[in-house]
Amino acid sequence: MRIRTKFSAFSAAVVLATVAILAATAFFLQKRLISSHMDEIRRVQSAGFAAVCRQAITTDNELFMINFAKLLMESPGIAYAYYVDAEGRIRVHTDKKFFYKTLAEWTAGRPVGVIEAEHPVKIGGSPAGRAVIGFSENYARGLLEAALAQTTARVAAAAGVVVLAVLPAALLFAVILTAPIRALARGSEAVGRGEFTARVEVESKDELGDLAGRFNEMAQQLAILDEMKDEFISSVSHDLRSPMSAVKMYTQYMLFEDPDRDKILPQHRTFLLTIMESATRLGVFVTNMLDAAKIKAGRAEYHVQPMDAAVSVRNVRGLFGILAEKKGVALVESVAPDLPKAMADPERMDHVVANLVSNSLKFTPSGGKITIGARPDHGRVVLWVEDTGKGISPENLGKLFRRFGQVDVADQRAKRVTGTGLGLYIVKQTVEGMGGKIEVASEVGKGTTFTVTLAGAPPDAIVLPAGLHG
């Protein structure tokens, strides 16, 4: 339940409870007031009747008393009235048949549901009798109930008005109150996604405003730290590149270029191959780190030019040949004979294919096979890397190209598969940066195929020698 709903419901409940308590109190007080008021009326009426009786007796004019009793009967709610003298004889009664009857005779047939009010009649200081009026209990109750029903209706109407007024007000207040919380939630979500530039705009001077201010400071610190991290990685990678490049080029020279290379002892040759293989792996790693930093900072550059995809295939096969052999995985080339030239950055393309092969090698067990291929496709050039590895489940295929998106980290750690989780992210960014397209097809237990589609170059395009930018 949302805070604003809770708050509104709570406010409405509090208001309703208050109104209910007030209504109950008002009801009780009203009832008491009306009851005492009615008692007072009965007392006054019986006193009036008593005064008439006294007058009638002193003037010996019973007719006056009889007429007054008749008059009384005309007012609503009066059931009967009578005057009884000191000896207990009824002298006047609204019902004529009780005239001069004893009180006992009357009380025997007296109607029920009547409240009596009586007043003594004194003549010359000594009691002469009592004036009694019987009021209908039903009539009194009816009056009381009518009055209370009116009160109840009024209270209910007031409660309705109050609740109707309070609910939108409470809702509005809650919306205003929770707006900064929602802003903070959105900010947290953005920072969680790695958008450290996200800021929460809360102007209020209260605790929420304070919290938003601290949140923004935190996001700013995170942005600075993130930038420091990127710069650090970038500078470390850059400094690693030159010496590593030297290791690689000298080893390569000794193995394949040096005029005296035939004099290398066979075991030294193996050692040199191992050095080269390690330098290759480190090279891919360092280039990935640099590329990731550049892609993130939007500084990635691609020198798209006519290139021979077959050269990329050959280069990468050369780079990973020894490693594959050591793992017992066959690394084979499959280049179509009529392959046209492609439009891509040759150096970056080598790196893309190297990442794909490095990835396949990681997940292909001994005895498996990795094919690096290139083929024409309706004027375009397709480079593909196919393995007979463990495959990728459909739910993991979607996560594949994300930054640090290595699938199921825990599982991989258990199986001692290592990696930065950057390779495929860089592959996708690079291929798309060069105007190409990458696709993946996989079947668990059977293997995975990555397909890179590049634009074809015009047939008369000249391919520049490696590393040359005119």
| Chain position carrying tokens 């025997």 | 108
**How many Cα atoms are found within 13 Å in the side-chain-facing hemisphere of 86?**
8
Under a CB-based contact definition with an 8 Å cutoff, are residues 216 and 198 in contact? Answer: no
Residue 200 Cβ vs another protein, minimum distance, rounded to whole Å: 37
294 or 296: whose CB is closer to another protein?
294
- Give Cα separations from 354 to 126, 359, 399 (angstroms): 131, 8, 20
What does the block give as tokens for 465? 């020698």
Under a CB-based contact definition with an 8 Å cutoff, are residues 114 and 134 in contact? Answer: yes
Task: Report phi then psi at 286, rounded to 5.
Answer: -65, -40
Q: What angle do the packed helices 137-192 and 207-252 form, to 10 degrees?
A: 20
Residue 351 Cβ vs another protein, minimum distance, rounded to whole Å: 12
Residue 1 Cβ vs another protein, minimum distance, rounded to whole Å: 55
- Give Cα separations from 130 to 12, 78, 96, 264, 371 (angstroms): 57, 17, 18, 147, 126
DSSP string across 270-327:
HHHHHHHHHHHHHHHHHHHHHHHHHHHHT------EEE-HHHHHHHHHHHHHHHHHHH
445 or 467: whose CB is closer to another protein?
467
Q: What angle do the packed helices 266-297 and 309-327 form, to 10 degrees?
A: 120
Q: Is the dihedral of CA 411, 417, 418, 422 positive or negative?
A: negative
Q: Which of 346, 357, 341, 355 is nearest to 434 (CA)?
A: 346
Task: Report phi then psi at 276, rounded to 5.
Answer: -65, -40
**Whole-number Å distance between alpha carbons of 5 and 132:** 63
172 or 249: whose CB is closer to another protein?
249
| Chain position carrying tokens 């996001």 | 219
Residue 241 Cβ vs another protein, minimum distance, rounded to whole Å: 6
Residue 467 Cβ vs another protein, minimum distance, rounded to whole Å: 4
283 or 423: whose CB is closer to another protein?
283
122 or 303: whose CB is closer to another protein?
303
Q: List residues near another protein by CB under 8 A.
A: 241-243, 245-246, 248-250, 253, 257, 259, 294, 301, 303, 347, 465-470
28 or 256: whose CB is closer to another protein?
256
Q: Where are the beta strands (DSSP E) in 57-96?
A: 78-85, 90-93
* CB atoms closer than 10 angstroms to residue 363: 19
Residue 219 Cβ vs another protein, minimum distance, rounded to whole Å: 31
414 or 468: whose CB is closer to another protein?
468
Residue 280 Cβ vs another protein, minimum distance, rounded to whole Å: 13
Residue 245 Cβ vs another protein, minimum distance, rounded to whole Å: 5
Under a CB-based contact definition with an 8 Å cutoff, are residues 470 and 463 in contact? Answer: no
Q: Is the dihedral of CA 291, 296, 299, 301 positive or negative?
A: positive
**First-to-last C-alpha distance (Å) of the chain:** 65
124 or 467: whose CB is closer to another protein?
467
394 or 470: whose CB is closer to another protein?
470
Q: Which of 450, 422, 419 is nearest to 436 (CA)?
A: 450
Residue 466 Cβ vs another protein, minimum distance, rounded to whole Å: 5
Residue 253 Cβ vs another protein, minimum distance, rounded to whole Å: 6
Residue 331 Cβ vs another protein, minimum distance, rounded to whole Å: 23
125 or 465: whose CB is closer to another protein?
465
162 or 240: whose CB is closer to another protein?
240
